[in-house]
Amino acid sequence: DTGVSQDPRHKITKRGQNVTFRCDPISEHNRLYWYRQTLGQGPEFLTYFQNEAQLEKSRLLSDRFSAERPKGSFSTLEIQRTEQGDSAMYLCASSQREASTDTQYFGPGTRLTVL
Partner 1 sequence: AQSVTQPDIHITVSEGASLELRCNYSYGATPYLFWYVQSPGQGLQLLLKYFSGDTLVQGIKGFEAEFKRSQSSFNLRKPSVHWSDAAEYFCAVGASAAGNKLTFGGGTRVLVKP
- R_g (Cα) of the chain, nearest Å: 14
Residue 63 beta carbon to partner 1: minimum distance, rounded to whole angstroms: 20
Q: Is 106 in the site for partner 1 (CB under 8 A)?
A: yes
Contact 58, 67 (CB under 8 A): no
Q: Is 50 in the site for partner 1 (CB under 8 A)?
A: yes
Residue 16 beta carbon to partner 1: minimum distance, rounded to whole angstroms: 26
Backbone torsion region of residue 108, taken as left when φ is above 0, otherwise alpha when ψ lies between -120 and 50, otherwise beta: alpha
- CA-CA distance, 49 to 75, in Å (whole number)? 9
Q: Is 87 in the site for partner 1 (CB under 8 A)?
A: no
Applying CB under 8 A, which part among 12-20, 64-72, 75-83, 96-104 lies near partner 1?
A: 96-104
Residue 45 beta carbon to partner 1: minimum distance, rounded to whole angstroms: 4
Contact 25, 73 (CB under 8 A): yes
Q: Is 54 in the site for partner 1 (CB under 8 A)?
A: no
Residues contacting residue 83 through CB under 8 Å, at least 6 positions apart: 15, 64, 114
Please report, as ranges, the residues that interact with partner 1 according to CB under 8 A: 4, 6, 31, 33, 35, 40-45, 48, 50, 56, 58, 91, 93, 95, 97-109, 111
